[in-house]
Structure 1
């Protein structure tokens, strides 16, 4: 079987903190999906060609941008703006939830134009990266972002605008999330999120991680590193 090309992708981890402890938003992929069927995942997907031109109210912080640009694939120049935009686009498409600021929005994504909002990437923290191993039906260079659910514009429990790509969308207690049927890499990311959240109080801003773990499977020999 010919190996599949690697596509850039973005995943959004929304963290909701309250009196009952932290929870994350997850949904289940369809049983007939070509990639990770019937698994619980975070909202996310591949970067589209138009994502680089999407207007944003703000980019991720300079520290996040520098890390996104670290460890480029051979011959590939990653666009931090396109990666961040893809995460916000996939979030609104798959969940109906928006993270934005008021602005002159001509954004074609569902919800943003109607609400007069520009997507806002300023509070997205880049916390993890993983490249799908060879031999899989789809291969992605996936950038994982963590954002506080308080950044959501509107009702955090209103998924009425979501497409049908993810079912059973709900806020899963972080302590129970790893009991779901998860892809291996999602289990690893959840452990990283739990470690990061344990360092801050329930009302503190989410911190930048000290380093970004990187599972690099672009070649035949797996490699693990930390992006500083």
Structure 2
């Protein structure tokens, strides 16, 4: 499946209640994310490059460098501006005197023609002697749709302050509603089920929620462009042969992290019994219990250097238990459990008997899938801290997969064990 280049423009404005952002609701007939509330945006067209002649501010070379591209960064910005005008009725442009456009500017009568492809943004700029101030856009983020959905996009996110003299209006075709909300309001609407939001939208709103004014927000965005997103295949080993992982593949991020030089030294699949150091002082050891619910097997994590913490010791499997003891030399001070399904916690009993370790986790609820042998010494609650040689684990109460489920965040390395 081809991954389409796309661009999104986040419009923000100051209000008495703080900054608000514009969200549009996609039509329920859309193939991709029907009914979701999104920022204005869409695919980058071949004609975008014609608009470069009508821009002011940074040149394409400088923009592309910021976006970690060889060239064409300005085309993403122009696509974001065009899509915003088509979908939301707001055009980020200035007239021959450098003034922002107002609602009574005649270009608004050509909005539908632009939407239908009868006119291009470059032609409209030429007709009305307009320029697009690309320096007013900040580069906010880069998201690539993971494998699975019917369409995939390689999307650059931009942000700009909405011109005061124009009113937002959804197009009635691709978008059926619009709303100005504070980032906190939008996130709460999503949590309560009032609005559908996609992961890129949620991630962007969380960034925006940190700022009290558009000035502070734009200053931050201009000074802190996002890290480059890996966009090329990466080598890894699969069944003793080198294979190339595409961005978005399950093993891609790990291969890039563990093998930044692209030497092909990591594995494309998880091999039970083979320890993999995924971070400093953090080893993943996969149990030999493959299945529909466990994939290649349950992941056990061994944290430490000389004294060890074992996170999710796995099933009561003698081979796996001996492998844990071999890796740690039996120097296990703690066992930490996320939840008590039969594939995650039963090995705790054997490790406790062999090492005398302290056990952390929530007791098992009723049910045949639960490990009733699990007996914790400490029952962590949300926010509790557990010190390990690899860093401090913060307990996060996350019921759902199981009613007693905890995630653990390794604070110093920003690793989440989920």
In 2, the alpha carbon distance for the partners of 1:170 and 1:8 equals 26
| Match runs of 1:49-198 below 5 Å | 49-54=46-51, 55-60=53-58, 64-68=63-67, 70=68, 72=69, 77-103=70-96, 108-109=120-121, 115-149=128-162, 152=163, 154-155=165-166, 157-159=167-169, 162=171, 164-178=173-187, 179=189, 180-195=195-210, 197-198=211-212
Structure with a larger share of its residues in helix: 2
Give me the whole-angstrom Cα distance separating, in 2, the residues matched to 1:10 and 1:78.
Answer: 15
For residue 206 of structure 2, give the secondary structure of its aligned residue in structure 1. helix
- For CA contacts below 8 A with separation 6 or more, give which structure has more relative contact order: 1
Q: Does 1:210 align with 2:224?
A: yes
Query: Could you tell me which of 216, 220, 228 is aligned with 2:249?
Result: 220
Please give the secondary structure, in 1, of the residue aligned with 2:134: coil
Distance 1:98 1:192 in 2: 24
Q: Matches of 2:76 and 2:129 in 1, distance apart?
A: 22
Distance 1:202 1:24 in 2: 10
| Deviation of the 1:91 alpha carbon | 0.6
Q: 2:54·2:130 contact (CA, 8 Å) conserved in 1?
A: no
Contact in 2 for aligned 1:98/1:111 (Cα 8 Å): no
Asked if 2 retains the 8 angstrom alpha-carbon contact of 1:26 and 1:169, the reply is: yes
Which of structure 1's runs of 4+ aligned residues deviate more than 6 A?
A: none
Identify which range, 181-190 or 164-173, moves more after superposition.
Answer: 164-173
| Structure 2 segments unaligned to the other structure (5+ residues) | 98-106, 108-118, 190-194, 231-245, 257-418
Larger deviation, residues 112-121 vs 82-91: 112-121
Runs of 5+ unmatched residues, structure 1 = none
Q: Report which of the two structures shows the higher radius of gyration computed on alpha carbons.
A: 2
Offset at residue 88 of structure 1 (A): 0.5
Residues 114 and 53 of structure 1: CA distance in aligned 2, closer, same or farther (over 3 Å): closer
Deviates more, 1:210-219 or 1:134-143: 210-219
Q: Which moved more, 1:211-220 or 1:91-100?
A: 211-220
Rounded to whole Å, the distance in 2 between the matches of 1:214 and 1:41 is 23
Structure 2 residue matching 1:19: 3-state secondary structure? coil
Aligned equivalents of 1:194, 1:134: Cα separation in 2: 29
Q: CA, structure 1 residues 142+203, in 2 after alignment: closer, same or farther (shift >3 Å)?
A: closer
Question: C-alpha displacement at 1:223, in angstroms?
Answer: 3.0
Indicate conservation of the 8 Å contact 1:26/1:43, yes or no. Answer: yes
TM-score by length of 2: 0.45
Shift of 1:210: 2.5
